[in-house]
């Protein structure tokens, strides 16, 4: 199974904010849409980075300062992003997410953002794939496979 298969099922809607947006407003948007990360874009619409729950948690250690911060001050910048290709298989993506301890990964096709996947999306796809394989094997053992 590939990343493209996940995006085909879940959709490829990606929320984004400008890097000059206030952190507090961005957190409200993330909460409203029940998302754990949001892409950050510059004035031209190019990817500037990603803002994740972890970035926000690190920022609110001093709650008095968070009120005045803009997203670009706490985001993970584009040069540090670990991205997936829509053609990557889910085992590779799961390994990368685990190795780098990240929960959200932008999906790129050439230089274009085509989606955003979470570790939950990857685990769900992997479980679905395992269930399908198990069912096929059970049917085969029980003699319920189609005749050729």
Q: How far apart are CA 118 and CA 113, in angstroms?
A: 15
Is the pLDDT score of 148 beyond 60? no
Q: What CATH number does the domain containing 55 carry?
A: 3.10.580.10
**Over 80: is that where the pLDDT of 145 sits?**
no
Contact in structure between 74 and 56 (CB atoms under 8 Å): yes
CB 88 within 8 A of CB 2: yes
Give me the residue label for tokens 């991205």: 83
Place of tokens 């993330």: 30
Is 147 a member of any domain? no
pLDDT tens column, 27-58: 999 999 999 999 999 999 899 999 999 999 88
Q: Which domain holds residue 74?
A: 3-141
Calpha distance 134→114 (Å, rounded): 31
Q: Determine, yes or no, domain membership for 29.
A: yes
Is residue 24 in some structural domain? yes
Split into its structural domains, the chain has a count of 1
User: Is residue 146 a part of any domain in this protein?
Assistant: no
Handedness of CA 32, 34, 37, 43 (dihedral sign): negative
In a domain, 130, yes or no: yes
Q: How far is CA 87 from the centre of its chain?
A: 15
Nearest residue to 36 (alpha-carbon basis) of 11, 53, 22, 54: 53
Residue 125 counted as domain residue? yes
Give the residue, 67 or 2, on which the prediction is more confident.
2
Model's pTM, two decimal places?
0.83
């Amino acid at each position: 199974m590939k990343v493209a298969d996940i995006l085909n099922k879940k959709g490829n809607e990606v929320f984004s904010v400008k890097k000059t947006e206030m952190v507090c407003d961005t957190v409200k948007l993330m909460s409203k849409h029940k998302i754990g990360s949001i892409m950050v874009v510059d004035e031209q619409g190019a990817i500037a980075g990603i803002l994740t729950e972890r970035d926000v948690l690190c920022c609110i250690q001093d709650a008095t300062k968070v009120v005045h911060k803009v997203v670009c001050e706490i985001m993970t910048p584009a040069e540090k992003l670990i991205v997936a290709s829509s053609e990557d298989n889910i085992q590779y993506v799961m390994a990368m997410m685990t190795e780098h301890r990240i929960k959200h990964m932008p999906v790129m096709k050439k230089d274009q953002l085509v989606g955003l996947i979470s570790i939950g999306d990857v685990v769900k796809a992997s479980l679905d794939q395992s269930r399908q394989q198990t069912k096929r094997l059970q049917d085969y053992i029980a003699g319920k496979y189609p005749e050729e």
